[in-house]
Amino acid sequence: TGFKTAILHPPTSSSASAVHMSAVQASHLLIKYAGSRNPQSRRTGESTAGVSKAAAVAELETWLAKIKASEVSFADAAKQRSDCSSYKNGGDLGPFGPGEMQKPFEDATYGLQVGEVSGIVETDSGVHLILRTA
């Protein structure tokens, strides 16, 4: 698989983080909930309409603690729990550039150092933990 082409948009604020010039790569663990866009797990095929946002956040906090304590690798956590189809690849989303991901996800990923795990990031898709890999 090759790199995706990204269209750079002019910055919408004076923040330096508004413009990202190069592709990054990340893995994530997504937990969908009732208010998520398309509330269905790609791992199980089951609806997430019965999961509250608070429950999703609480569960993600538990996974984050396990990852930080080295009880489970990020990839294994994603394989076991992520609601994204990327669970099959340990959450690996491959390389992406500016404008290819939802803004909160993009901003969080670019704000991480390679090898660093984010706190909880909320997008229209659900709540995520993100591991920047490149």
Active site residues: 28, 84, 102, 125, 128
Taking the C-alpha atoms of residue 126 and residue 103, their distance in angstroms, rounded to an integer, is: 13
- Tell me how far CA of residue 9 lies from CA of 21, 58, 99, 106, 111, in angstroms: 10, 35, 8, 13, 18
Neighbouring C-beta atoms of residue 59, cutoff 10 Å: 16
